[in-house]
Structure 1
Amino acid sequence: MDVTELRVALFSGNYNYVRDGANQALNRLVDYLLREGAKVRVYSPKVKTPAFDPVGDLVGVPAIPLPGRAEYRAPLVLTPGVKKDLHRFGANMIHVASPELLGHAAVRHAHKNRLPCVASVHTRFETYPRYYGFAFLEPMVEAGLRRFYRRCDAIFAPSESMAQLLRDQRMNFDVGIWSRGIDRDIFTPERREMGWRRALGIDDDEAVIGFVGRLVMEKGLDVFADTIDELGRRGYRVRPLIVGDGPAKEWFEKRLPEDAVFAGFQRGEALGRAAASMDVLLNPSVTETFGNVTLEAMACGVAVVAADATGSRSLVEDGTGALVRPGAIGAFADAVGHYAKDLAAREAAGAAGRKASRAYEWDTVNKALLDGYLRIERQRERGQRGGTPGLGRIWPGAQVPPRG
């Protein structure tokens, strides 16, 4: 099959109504596919005032506010009208971006109509319960995810460390890589502005320890705050700079020292300026599958200290920063304190990170997923059907992991 024959139906719980790294990656993917000559139709909830205009044709699906996180929508089912639109479009590839009710409905549609189906993995949903007092539910969530992903021909992770975790969890036999890219016009050391820092009340000799992302507990806000406290006890002169917004903002403001700077949600050139104006990025999250903010900081020449977890583990290497055992407050403080105090080490890590970030270009990483689509189509044409045993599909003669 040629790329111009490809007709992709993309299903996502969030395509453009709240801005985050996952849906921005999906919009960039659609832009790339359209430029390459493929046809794409997106099925996702719509709102009256979305965060940004969608790329491509977006068909709204019914949804309700997510309990406890009303800014997000929980899509429900494929209505008769949506099904008619899907049939008129004539999709020959189903791409599911989130494992909620809509995603399950899309997979069922693919099976019923004998269409290839792939899933992209954007976050570690199985880790979420631990941040809300329900850690005992993690095995159940993981089992549900396994059942969902095993019904797809292939799944795609944004980093090798995440892909290996998915293999270890026996989520699917066919696990590929769809990485993330970087916009070098936005994320560059040239965007660093000392004047902007001064306007926020930050002295030039203060080491700015940055956090970038949605302010939700699963991003490791407690670990960030505990690390800042430990640095204070050790006598380091550091200033927390928080870039982002979210439902846990009030908690975070109360938890951090009074001199912490909350710059709010930033995007585009303003986000590039904020990232480049930090001295160290502290990313304690263990829920990331890639870590866009980590790559953005590296591209800006900023030293990174991150949790030794999926995503960051594939980005932060010797010389570009430090990986720390998740939750190890003393070790986080050691690493952040080292870069806060040692300007030469900070600059060396930033230069190494800037060099390493050059491997990530959007068209290159999106081509990898397009190639994956076409490979799965070729396998279908030859009668080879991907998936995992026990759910009706397996490559002939393949060695597969045991069911769990």
Structure 2
Amino acid sequence: MTRILHVLDHSLPLHSGYTFRTRALLKAQQGRGWDVRGITGNRHIADGPLVETADDLVFHRVPGRSQSRIAPLAEWRDVRHLSSGIDALVRDWKPDLIHAHSPVLGALAAAPVARRHGLPFVYEIRAFWEDAAVGNGTGLEGDLRYRVTRFLEDRAVARADAVMVICEGLRQDLIARGVSPDKINVSPNGVDLDLFGDPSPPDEALRSQLGLDGAEVIGFIGSFYDYEGLDDLIAAMPLLVARRPKAHLLLVGGGPRADALRAQAEASSVAAHIHFVGRVPHHEVERYYSLTDILCYPRKAMRLTELVTPLKPLEAMAQGRLVAASSVGGHRELIEDGVTGTLFPPDDPAAMADALARLLADRAGWDERRRVARAFVERERSWAKNVVRYEPVYQQLLTNGHVVRTS
């Protein structure tokens, strides 16, 4: 049985888009008969045992942080500490291949261990860390930290035997940096369809509790980062309500922009039509999805959103929900305008309001749109299909002078 060790930023039982992709991937690999485990460093902030089982998946923890928090010394010591933990697990568990996932610190920790033990090393990039920092408001494009992180990203790619990316935008960016196309493989974001059956019927008690009886509900469920463009969505609401008086906005989640967005909503002329729920337990999220007519993803135009495909629109399609999104590159890889969803120009509240008003008025076409979008996910973006993309990459590396474990 082939053993794959995944080096991760964080994992279940924490909930995030990152952990849900990881869960789907590891579950799909288990389903193909592979033995998989994960290992995390100090960026996994949840309390728990050193070896933890979550959803029948095994994760090893390497706790502890450098006493110095002076960058980049602290990060370098954290990388070395994680590398030592990976090395100890490799000696004990003896995996056949190491598969590190972005951000780049995990790859920098894993690469020397793989080389020391003669193991194939795969690096999977879900987003470039330097662009994620800009999108999260913790960095500036082109500053010293950005350039250093980009250099480290390039170094990690050079040391990997194979590179996986989640979308074509990332692949093309690496090729432009001089990486051979033959080294890069795309494993797109997907949905674990075992988690998405028939859409739940509307939770009428919750609808009444939130004051949404008789409303046309635009929803966003996720993290409140600047790049998500929720300020543009709030700015679009007076224009939308002028054309669709029953339109309401339901915002579920939290994040760095939460306070600013609440203040913006309170100052809006249609404040009574904007509802903040806050964060909700993951097992209750489906109740809020059940109340939405349209899930809206108004991401701003920037390198992060142009290059990276999000997971949320696919999950909404899988749940039989209508999707409207800004026409940034990451969304254009997922959504065919007028077929599986509706696209509108980014950073343009008026265009967003117009697109949402037209979609709300076209109720006769909703069922067909939902059907086509769900079929797209089943056909092209399920993890049962996505996991097959890893097999030829692994197999080539494992048979390139490495013995595949048979028991």
TM-score by length of 1: 0.79
Which residue of structure 2 lines up, in the alignment, with residue 119 of structure 1? 123
| Aligned-partner Cα distance in 2 for 1:181–1:251 | 32
Task: Give 3-state SS (helix, strand or coil) of 2:218's partner.
Answer: strand
Q: Say yes or no: does 1:272 pair with 2:281.
A: no
Which residue of structure 1 lines up, in the alignment, with residue 370 of structure 2? 350
Identify which range, 243-252 or 161-170, moves more after superposition. 161-170
Q: Say yes or no: does 1:231 pair with 2:237.
A: no
Counterpart of 2:265, as a letter, is L
Give matches, 1:88-167, under 5 Å.
88-128=92-132, 129=134, 131-132=136-137, 134-137=140-143, 141-167=149-175
Alpha-carbon distance change, 327 to 273 in structure 1, aligned in 2, over 3 angstroms = same
Q: Say yes or no: does 1:78 pair with 2:82.
A: yes
Identity %: 22
| Aligned-partner Cα distance in 2 for 1:269–1:362 | 21
Which residue of structure 2 lines up, in the alignment, with residue 10 of structure 1? 6
Task: Answer yes or no: is the 8 Å Cα contact 2:196–2:318 preserved in 1.
Answer: no
Alpha-carbon distance change, 234 to 310 in structure 1, aligned in 2, over 3 angstroms = same
| Aligned-partner Cα distance in 1 for 2:195–2:88 | 42
1:241 is aligned, of 222, 245, 250, to: 250
Task: Answer yes or no: is the 8 Å Cα contact 2:86–2:110 preserved in 1.
Answer: no
| Aligned-partner Cα distance in 1 for 2:171–2:285 | 29
Give matches, 1:178-197, under 5 Å.
178-179=187-188, 180-183=190-193, 186=196, 188-197=198-207
| Aligned-partner Cα distance in 1 for 2:24–2:346 | 31
Offset from partner CA, 1:13-63 (integer Å, 9 cap, x none): 111253112212212322333343323232103531699936433221135
User: Post-superposition shift, 1:233?
Assistant: 6.1
| Aligned-partner Cα distance in 2 for 1:291–1:187 | 21
1:376 is aligned, of 374, 384, 397, to: 397
User: Post-superposition shift, 1:117?
Assistant: 1.1
Task: Answer yes or no: is the 8 Å Cα contact 2:103–2:127 preserved in 1.
Answer: no
Alpha-carbon distance change, 380 to 168 in structure 1, aligned in 2, over 3 angstroms = farther
User: Post-superposition shift, 1:326?
Assistant: 2.9
2:265 is aligned, of 231, 256, 262, to: 256
Q: Say yes or no: does 1:28 pair with 2:19.
A: no
User: Post-superposition shift, 1:238?
Assistant: 1.9
Alpha-carbon distance change, 169 to 196 in structure 1, aligned in 2, over 3 angstroms = farther
Alpha-carbon distance change, 30 to 182 in structure 1, aligned in 2, over 3 angstroms = closer
| Aligned-partner Cα distance in 2 for 1:161–1:272 | 30
Unaligned runs of 5+ in 2: 70-74
User: Post-superposition shift, 1:351?
Assistant: 3.0
Q: Say yes or no: does 1:292 pair with 2:311.
A: yes
User: Post-superposition shift, 1:95?
Assistant: 0.6
Alpha-carbon distance change, 284 to 154 in structure 1, aligned in 2, over 3 angstroms = farther
| Aligned-partner Cα distance in 1 for 2:250–2:217 | 6
Q: Say yes or no: does 1:208 pair with 2:217.
A: yes
Which residue of structure 1 lines up, in the alignment, with residue 356 of structure 2? 336
Offset from partner CA, 1:240-276 (integer Å, 9 cap, x none): 1112233432222222253322233346653233224
Task: Give 3-state SS (helix, strand or coil) of 1:358's partner.
Answer: helix
Counterpart of 2:141, as a letter, is A
Task: Answer yes or no: is the 8 Å Cα contact 1:187–1:276 preserved in 2.
Answer: no
| Aligned-partner Cα distance in 2 for 1:35–1:350 | 29
Which residue of structure 1 lines up, in the alignment, with residue 388 of structure 2? 367
Task: Answer yes or no: is the 8 Å Cα contact 1:186–1:272 preserved in 2.
Answer: no
Give matches, 1:307-326, under 5 Å.
307-318=326-337, 319-326=339-346
Counterpart of 1:308, as a letter, is S
Offset from partner CA, 1:329-349 (integer Å, 9 cap, x none): 332222122113332244443
User: Post-superposition shift, 1:323?
Assistant: 2.3
Alpha-carbon distance change, 231 to 99 in structure 1, aligned in 2, over 3 angstroms = same
| Aligned-partner Cα distance in 2 for 1:151–1:264 | 42
Task: Answer yes or no: is the 8 Å Cα contact 2:244–2:357 preserved in 1.
Answer: no
Alpha-carbon distance change, 130 to 316 in structure 1, aligned in 2, over 3 angstroms = closer
Alpha-carbon distance change, 304 to 32 in structure 1, aligned in 2, over 3 angstroms = closer
Cα RMSD of the aligned pairs, angstroms, is: 3.3
TM-score by length of 2: 0.78
| Aligned-partner Cα distance in 1 for 2:175–2:238 | 37
Alpha-carbon distance change, 350 to 182 in structure 1, aligned in 2, over 3 angstroms = same
Q: Give the structure with the higher percent helix.
A: 2
Number of residue-to-residue matches in the alignment: 371
| Aligned-partner Cα distance in 2 for 1:190–1:56 | 27
Q: Say yes or no: does 1:301 pair with 2:320.
A: yes
